[in-house]
Chain A
Amino acid sequence: MRKRKITAKKVEPDPEALLPLTPAMFEILVALADGERHGYAIMQEVDARTEGKMRIGPGTLYRSIQRLMEDGLITESDERPALEMDDERRRYYRITDFGYRVAVAEARRLAELVATAQAKKLLPKPRAR
């Protein structure tokens, strides 16, 4: 009898399974999409990008970070920034590949929602350039 070789196939988690993300979680992923940041820098980035409309408190920020880390969307970074910019007391976070895919899936979901809102004339359609 021939023996079958059984190899464990790594199951890729489905990014769609984690949707929809909370606004705070999505904002954090967007903030980390272009580089690693520490908590306060994430807060400042969100604040500046949304012009103060979305303000995340320390509790919400770290609760979301905890959840994102548990789901494998972000991870604590081992790399430190340049010495003159580094603050040893701070922890830096970076987005994982899976986190990036989840962020893309969430962005697509929101874009579809916006398209539906435009179709129902809740939003004006963007002008063609």
Chain B
Amino acid sequence: MSRQTPEKIVAVSHRLYLLLLGACRSEFRLRFGREMGQVFRDRCREARRRGGLIGLALWWVRALSDLAGTAVATHVNAVEQGDVEMKRILRIATQGIFGSAGILLLFYTMVKRPMPHWNAGVLLCVVIACLSVTLGLTWAAAFRENGRTQK
């Protein structure tokens, strides 16, 4: 292995890590992304020096799990701090999931495979619950929007 190879591996790892930082919220990334990249690169060098390629791989595993946690936390923080856009995206996603689950269940139980009386009843309750959540979210959003425009 040439002398430059370890440095190349570290450089590639660094670039890859910077790409993966895209999973974090943009404000956080813009503020701390460059520093996180530097720290990651320094640790890569240290791990490579101490444990060779295995050491580097182990550091990657740790860094990835840490990054995943950070990505989730930055988005959750944004919601907690009242990021309107984030709330809207979450609402639409929830509506989509519950709405499509309700429609699919309805289709499955009523058309595709009609079930015995009691089973279909239970599923129908689930369908109604799913659709209620969807309608409830839509209604709440419309109500809030209406209140905001009246102010």
A90 touches B69 (CB 8 A): no
- List residues of B (33-67) whose CB comes within 8 Å of A's CBs: 34-36, 38-40, 42-43, 62-63, 65-67
Contact pick for B66, options A38, A58, A89, CB 8 Å: A58
B38 touches A39 (CB 8 A): yes
Contact pick for A60, options B35, B38, B42, B70, CB 8 Å: B70
Interface assignment of B32: CB less than 8 Å from any CB of chain A: yes
User: Interface size for chain B: under 10, 10 to 19, 20 to 34, or 35 or more residues?
Assistant: 20 to 34
User: Interface size for chain A: under 10, 10 to 19, 20 to 34, or 35 or more residues?
Assistant: 10 to 19
- Which residues of A have CB within 8 Å of B108? none
- Which residues of A have CB within 8 Å of B24? 59
A58 touches B39 (CB 8 A): yes
Q: Which residue of A lies closest to B33 (CB)?
A: A62
The secondary structure that dominates the B interface is: helix
B35 touches A62 (CB 8 A): yes
A59 touches B62 (CB 8 A): no
Question: Mind listing 21 A-B residue pairs with CB under 8 Å?
Answer: A38-B35, A39-B35, A39-B36, A40-B39, A55-B62, A58-B36, A58-B39, A58-B63, A58-B67, A59-B63, A59-B66, A59-B70, A59-B71, A60-B66, A61-B36, A62-B39, A66-B28, A66-B31, A89-B34, A90-B35, A90-B38
Partner-B contacts on A (CB < 8 A): 38-40, 43, 55, 57-63, 65-66, 89-91
